Structure 1
Amino acid sequence: MIEDIRIGLGFDGHRLEEGLELKLGGVKIDYPKGLKGHSDGDVLLHALTDALLSACKEPDIGQLFPDTDPMWKGADSRVFLMEALKRVKEKGYMIMNVDCTVVADEPRIAPYRKLIEENIAQLMELDPCRVSVKGKTREGFCKDDSVACFCVVLLVKA
């Protein structure tokens, strides 16, 4: 039946700033700048969280974890992902695959790709073959000195 399959799309983007730690997909990236955000700024986990929430017709990350709430200041984005995963399971869905594209000129994603994929797979309790992460350069898409991420997820009724 058609309602047994759901697709979700998530997007996030933040500017890079000196002196902040950079995390992508929950992995610390060796880079002199980090992503400026209310939480830890992990655009990959934010986009992935929104994709999961969207696929199961739940409120988005901004509604669940508003940047106006001091409780979420500096929060680890894994908390957001865990809440989205809980909601997916409560609605009776399982994750078939995850596909994420990080858009940035710097830092390069390729050296961290496998580690990020493995970390996401572990966080989501998925086989790593179900998680794809790739990097693309901006090609004029977003502001210089920023990182954006698109994620798509496919859910099926368990």
Structure 2
Amino acid sequence: MKIKTGLGQDSHAFCDTNKLLILAGVVFDYPKSLNANSDGDVVFHSITNAISSITGINILGAKADTLCKQGVTDSVEYLKLAFNDLNKWKIQHIAISIECLHPKILPMIEKMKLSISKLLNIALQDVGITTTTGEGLTEFGKGNGIQVLSIVTVIK
């Protein structure tokens, strides 16, 4: 058996648009959205980057930018591309750390875990999500955006 671990990160600043705030495919009732060409789902972007670090195939950047120009702005589609690149590797666990002052993430964690587990075909208990405000030491902890770090562990 072989094991690999991938690390991914993404962050976006808040902006005032009429877009929805979406995290892990879940819509949050919040008056601001994230500044991005896509829907700005930093959780899915972070997981996509973690998988890309395993496969060596970058999705975010040129591929995602091309899709955005074609009108594909749903981050689910980017994550699906990365997931398909895993080929015979199977996801065993995903650890996610979210840093932001707001919105409050805790009440939505179970919905977010369910969304991730369904999309990536893994057990709900194999998705871990933690949150922090970082004690206000960063722009995210001061309420100016959201940062997400993800670790994906796979086996073959």
TM-score (norm 2): 0.90
Native 8 Å contact 2:37 2:68 kept in 1: no
Query: Structure 1 residue 142 and structure 2 residue 139: aligned?
Result: yes
* CA RMSD of superposed structures (Å): 1.8
Give the 5 Å matches for 1:7-156.
7-19=5-17, 20-66=19-65, 70-71=69-70, 75-88=73-86, 90=87, 92-139=88-135, 140-143=137-140, 144=142, 145-156=144-155
Distance in 2 between the 1:123 and 1:111 partners? 20
What is the count of residue pairs matched by the alignment?
A: 152
Deviation at 1:128, TM superposition (A): 0.2
Comparing 141-150 with 16-25, which one deviates more in the overlay? Answer: 141-150
Contact 2:67/2:73 (<8 A) preserved? no
Report the CA distance between 1:64 and its aligned residue. 2.5
Q: Give how far 1:68 is off.
A: 9.5
- Give CA-to-partner distance per residue, 1:94-147, whole Å, 9 cap, x none: 000001111100001101001100110011111101001121103312354111
- C-alpha separation between the residues in 2 aligned to 1:142 and 1:149? 13
TM-score (norm 1): 0.89
Percent identity over the alignment is 27
The alpha carbon displacement at 1:53 in A equals: 1.2
* Aligned equivalents of 2:147, 2:5: Cα separation in 1: 20
Q: Is the 8 A contact 1:142 1:148 kept in 2?
A: no
Runs of 4 or more, structure 1, over 2 Å off, are 66-69, 141-144
Task: In structure 1, list runs of 5 or more residues that go unmatched.
Answer: none
SS of 1:58's equivalent in the other structure is: coil
Seen in structure 2, the aligned counterparts of structure 1 residues 40 and 69 have a Cα distance that, compared at 3 Å, is: closer
Q: Distance in 2 between matches of 1:34 and 1:62?
A: 20
Distance 1:121 1:43 in 2: 17
- Consecutive unaligned residues in structure 2, runs of 5 or more: none
Deviates more, 1:111-120 or 1:54-63: 54-63
- Distance in 2 between the 1:58 and 1:142 partners? 30
